[in-house]
Amino acid sequence: GENVEQHPSTLSVQEGDSAVIKCTYSDSASNYFPWYKQELGKRPQLIIDIRSNVGEKKDQRIAVTLNKTAKHFSLHITETQPEDSAVYFCAATDTGNQFYFGTGTSLTVIP
């Protein structure tokens, strides 16, 4: 089955700096890669996703890049704010029937 690895496990940045979280996957059949933000004690929320026919997608301060050849995708957050502090999970799926999640990155934005 698919194996998704995520790095780093923790990340601290100064407010206003950029944050980058990276994930790798093993199954070349995976074609949909969502990112979720989970604040403490709350539900995971979909923040951005990318399909395998696209190399990059951007939504305001958040962007995701995908390298199918290398089987890795990354989340980029620019101009970080304290409210960006949360745990971020990447995931991958091929059919949408089963999603494989990364181990999460705890992002802390220091004011």
Binding site for another protein (CB under 8 A): 32, 34, 36, 42-46, 49, 89, 91, 93, 95-104
Phi-psi domain of 16 (left: phi exceeds 0; alpha: psi -120 through 50; beta: other): left
Residue 32 or 78 having the CB closest to another protein:
32
Least distance from another protein to the Cβ atom of residue 6, Å: 8
Q: How far is the CB of 78 from another protein (least distance, A)?
A: 23
Nearer to another protein (CB atom), residue 31 or residue 78: 31
Nearer to another protein, 34 or 84 (CB): 34
The gap between the terminal CA atoms of the chain, to the nearest Å, is 41
Pull the structure tokens for residue 96.
């949408």
- Can you list the positions of beta strands (E) in the chain? 4-7, 10-14, 19-25, 32-38, 45-51, 56-59, 62-67, 72-77, 86-92, 100-101, 105-110
- Structure-block tokens of residue 58: 């951007």
Comparing CB distances to another protein, the nearer of 20 and 101 is 101
In the complex, least distance from residue 17 CB atom to another protein, rounded to whole angstroms: 26
